[in-house]
Structure 1
């Protein structure tokens, strides 16, 4: 692995916090299948992570002292979740900064992502306050929805050899595979926090269903807009230069469309993230990556 790894499990959680230090100085301009469209699609996903994962951390920290979360095992999981997400934010910030050298203003995209999150949660808080819905509940249910989205994408990365083959740079391959492993390690933590506080009743279910619909819409619009911006910077915002990426991601068996059934699984009233068993997949990849 092209990164220094320092593993800490002092919290005694079921998964560790790994401190990573990737070097992005030699990452080529088009590191995904040597294609501008695919590279920019993945780069703009990375642009969403720093602010998005800080939102996850803030949402969980805001409720971690709730009396219904007194179970010491769950508290250890929360601490490890926060540690992993903080590390994801750190490494994607480092990659995003390296992309600036190619003339891509990823920092502005990060800031715009934060604005989308803050504006969306502010509007929802105002609209739903008369129904007894707090900002803490909105933030936590939004985090549940987005954590499911990232876990599903991560599992697809780990099990689909066609998707893995698009990485023509070893550092980027290792960054995304490490991130994918950890997203599945902690995929149930926030959901367990949410249900411990708010239960599994109609109100809790309705809120998480609404959160998933809104989150998916905002992600699609924001990430697509960012991708178009980067393609425009390279003078490649054309059908010719975009069609491979669009087919790879959104064709009938594309990377994103293949995940629709699992994303929709979130709407089952009795859904739980661990219904999808990725234990063996994670064990194989941790061995492969030296984690």
Structure 2
């Protein structure tokens, strides 16, 4: 799979930490079937990950010693494995982003923008929530929980949508995204379990997590769309052909990766929802076998 894999069992967690080392040197500029629009769509998504994954790690780490969960040995093992996987995702997306930068696509600036958006939004939401007892830790963790639902859902689409898979014609990039998708589903419940363990399952928690999903999705859509438009414009690819291929890939009713997420995303609003309600075990076993994981 064009990567050296070293698997670490995080002291009995239900999923391992796989230490990857993908070689992006031979990845072509337009690795999505030679299509600039599709490649830039995925690059704009990848530009969100280094700062985003660090935010996820920091959010969970900030509350892992909370008295409500500090003595839960099983959950603590899951948290350690979650942090390990997210750290590897950061490393590999930094590597891919550097390969895009090599072709003159300014992903470094987008990465800086992502961090500024995250920090500005989290601080603003904490100010808004302070009068009703919402702390910075609550804002950060509930945003992480919402975004983890998004990443697990889009990951499921990558693993099930054959149209998307056929467009990933570069083996290194396809394997990197599928590995990432597997791990997003392996640890999809960790941040959620931490959130419920610390803040409970009451009406306030429900209102906080569902409103956070709405805010997070609107912010993410705006930022990723801006990144995509910026990459296309800088590459002189902001044209109807690129926009048409992006629409078919992301937003068309029958094939779109984003539209295909609708049903699973809406399940988050169900009272009593838990990420493990969405059973992806057989899907993950199939793909782990395909990738030799």
**2:31 match:** 31
Matches within 5 A, 1:50-89: 50-69=50-69, 70-89=71-90
Cα displacement (A) at 1:241: 2.5
Cα displacement (A) at 1:159: 1.3
Structure 2: any 5+ residue segments left out of the alignment? none
Cα displacement (A) at 1:184: 0.3
Matches within 5 A, 1:242-253: 242-253=243-254
Q: Number of residue pairs matched?
A: 291
**1:167 match:** 168
**1:212 match:** 213
CA distance in 2, matches of 1:179, 1:97: 17
**2:178 match:** 177
Q: Return the TM-score normalized by structure 1.
A: 0.99
**1:45 match:** 45
Q: CA RMSD in A?
A: 0.8
Any idea what SS the aligned residue of 2:243 has?
helix
- Counterpart of 1:262 (choices 261, 264, 267) is 264
- Counterpart of 1:273 (choices 252, 272, 275) is 275
**1:149 match:** 150
CA distance in 2, matches of 1:241, 1:17: 37
Any idea what SS the aligned residue of 1:4 has?
coil
Per-residue CA shift, 1:150-190, capped at 9, x if unaligned?
00000111111111111110000000000000000000001
Matches within 5 A, 1:97-108: 97-108=98-109
CA distance in 2, matches of 1:247, 1:19: 34
**2:289 match:** 287
**1:233 match:** 234
Higher deviation after alignment, 105-114 or 234-243:
234-243
Q: Return the TM-score normalized by structure 2.
A: 0.98
Any idea what SS the aligned residue of 2:219 has?
helix
